[in-house]
Amino acid sequence: MISTKLNRSTLNQSVLVLNTNYTPMDICTAKRAICLFYNEKVDILESYSEFIHSPSVKLPLPSIVKLKDFVRNQKMDVILTRRNLLVRDNHQCQYCETKKGPLTIDHVMPKNRGGGDAWENLVAACQTCNRTKGSRTPEEAKMVLKRYPKKPNKIHYFQQFIHEKQGAWRPYLFLESF
Ligand SMILES: [Zn+2]
């Protein structure tokens, strides 16, 4: 249905998903948002400047969609994954602040000393810092964390997906008034 001329990055653009009451729910890819739209699960509220062409339809690439059916008990936890952790830490080593990859995940309190896999105990670290720190705490290694690792708030997490093209998201994520 969708033109294959569209490159993958277009269909992978982030789309903000809102509940029926405009509460931010999730972020999905444009590809997923288009599927939801064709299955009549969402309305498109805002679009990017690009269009999706099929033989019969010219559809603006969605940027914000709103569910048609209210979702109850919405979970406001951000799932702990490597990708989400890197987003929280701004793809930056939390010790030396380099953004040069590849980044690893460091256990602040080392795993072999009881440190768990938790938002509060994991940080992005470059390979050099991770190796230097070894199985020591930051204090023992005399390394200073850029910031204390915390469980991200979902709204704050969504805000990190806003770049130049996502200006329309700002009011929905409490960054400015409508
Ligand atoms: Zn580093």
Distance 54 CA to ligand 1 centre (A): 47
Structural domain total, the chain: 2
pTM here is: 0.68
Q: How does residue 100 score in pLDDT terms, banded at 50, 70 and 90?
A: very high
Q: Does 133 lie in the same domain as 86? A: yes
C-alpha 137/C-alpha 151 separation (Å) is 20
Per DSSP, 76 falls in state: -
Q: Does 122 lie in the same domain as 88? A: yes
For residue 134, give the 3-state DSSP assignment.
Answer: coil
Distance 96 CA to ligand 1 centre (A): 4
Q: Which residue range forms the structural domain that includes residue 55?
A: 8-73+154-173
Distance 14 CA to ligand 1 centre (A): 28
Q: Is residue 178 part of a domain?
A: no
Q: How does residue 178 score in pLDDT terms, banded at 50, 70 and 90?
A: low
CATH number at residue 98: 1.10.30.50
C-alpha 7/C-alpha 63 separation (Å) is 17
Q: Does 60 lie in the same domain as 14? A: yes
Q: Is residue 67 part of a domain?
A: yes
The arithmetic mean of pLDDT across residues 17-44, rounded, is: 95
pLDDT by residue (tens digit) across 105-141?
A: 999 999 999 999 999 999 999 999 999 999 999 999 9
Q: Which is higher by pLDDT, 42 or 174?
A: 42
Distance 128 CA to ligand 1 centre (A): 6
Q: Does 22 lie in the same domain as 69? A: yes
Q: Does 48 lie in the same domain as 15? A: yes
Q: Is residue 17 part of a domain?
A: yes
Q: How does residue 76 score in pLDDT terms, banded at 50, 70 and 90?
A: confident
C-alpha 67/C-alpha 32 separation (Å) is 13
Distance 32 CA to ligand 1 centre (A): 35
